Amino acid sequence: MTLDIYLYTYIIYYLTMYHSYKHQFELLAACMIYGTVGIFIELLREMSVSSILFYRLLFGLMAILVYLTVTGNLGQLTLKKRKKYLLLLGLLYVSQLFCYYSAIRYLGASSAVLLLYTDPIYLTLLAPFLLGEKNTERTILALFLGLLGVFYVTRPEGGFEQLDITGNYLKGILYGLLGGLFSSGVIISVRYLRDEYNGLTQLFWQSSISLFFLAPFAATVPGEVLVTNLLPLVLFGVMITAFGAVLYIRGVAGVTAVTGSILTLVEPVSCIFFDYTVLGSSIHKGMLTGSVFILAAAVVVSIDSSFSWKKLVFGEKRPFGDRWVFGAEEE
């Protein structure tokens, strides 16, 4: 009898804990799912980046349609105003994904995800012109930290004098930096469209637009290669584009902007963790130093001037838009 009471109390305690921190758990789970991108790219070595993207988005969109049908939310996909900006969002999104995945191929997931997180640098430079947002001491600090991080991440272990400008390393760096640039464009577009379309609607249409431009590359995949890679592709699409996205949207809807911005930093951390433990990639000291500066820049640019530790835990709950993890994964 006593054992039953203890067991019942134990179950109630953990159910209460889950209910209290449900949204935090969902956001953490989504970011950890996004961190597995490098593993999938490694599994699909026989396919080009463009063809991988096509099938990832295709299977992900199919899963999203099933989810919206079951939940009775297909009406969310209705097109409203600002359609041309949805088209722009799709172009920026597919460009970001292509550069990010190409960087993973050339550099490995650890360096690629850190370079993707350099978008605060571009946002600091572009936001005053495109969004009319003035730079502050906080955004200038984020710019400085981001540039320091890029210096350490891109610096070869033996110094820049050992950099081979004709090799894959430099290609990976360029793709990674371009991925960060396109990521900032995605974030700016998302901010502009968020009053018209919610996160899942934007994800659906930007993925659909991406599929249109990627379709020619899908036809170049030999049938036997597609059959061999079909299971990883389905898992990739469902896990990243659909399951991770739904968890992410549910998570950010129930946490403060500050809490959400900090929790999303689990994505690059988990990506580096999986890259090191599962894929056996090496991590040099400069990469770790650079990651500290880049992640610090992401935190600084995400925290507004009214930040307080009390607000971090008990502040008002509202969606945040400074990081679009769907392309990162934002994903």
Domain locations in the chain as residue ranges: 31-327
What is the structure's pLDDT at 110? Answer: 81
Inter-residue contact 31 to 266 (CB < 8 Å): yes
| Separation between Cα atoms, residue 4 and residue 7, nearest integer Å | 5
Q: What's the pLDDT score for residue 62?
A: 93
- What's residue 301's pLDDT? 65
Dist CA 54 CA 208 (whole Å): 10
User: What is the amino acid identity at position 310?
Assistant: K
Distance CA 107, CA 99 (A): 12
Judged by DSSP in three states, 44 sits in coil
3-state secondary structure of 65: helix
Give yes or no for a contact between 113 and 328, defined as CB atoms under 8 angstroms apart.
yes
Q: Is 224 helix (H, G, I), strand (E, B) or coil?
A: helix
Taking the CA atoms of the chain, what radius of gyration do you get in angstroms?
20
DSSP for 164-213 reads -TTSHHHHHHHHHHHHHHHHHHHHHHHHHHTTTS-HHHHHHHHHHHHHHH
Residue 204 contacts by C-beta under 8 Å, 6 or more apart in sequence? 61, 64, 77
Buried b (16+ CB within 10 A) or exposed e, 297-308: bbebbbbeeeee
Looking at residue 17, its pLDDT comes to 44
Phi, psi of 131 (to 5 degrees): -115, -5
Tell me which residue of 189, 41, 175, 1 sits closest to 95, measured CA to CA.
Answer: 175
Tens of pLDDT along the chain (331 residues) come to 454 444 444 444 343 444 557 777 888 888 889 889 999 999 887 899 999 999 999 999 999 999 889 988 888 888 888 888 889 989 999 999 999 999 999 888 888 888 887 777 777 777 677 666 676 777 778 778 777 877 777 666 655 555 555 567 788 888 988 998 888 888 788 778 878 888 788 888 989 999 999 999 888 889 899 999 999 999 999 999 888 888 887 776 676 655 666 677 778 888 888 888 888 887 777 777 877 887 787 777 666 554 443 444 444 444 444 444 443 444 4
Identify the pLDDT of residue 258: 57
Q: What local confidence, expressed as pLDDT, does residue 188 receive?
A: 80
Nearest to 323 by CA among 33, 30, 119: 119
Contact assessment for residue 73 and residue 303, using Cβ atoms and an 8 Å cutoff = no
- Give me the pLDDT at residue 291, please: 79
Global pTM?
0.78
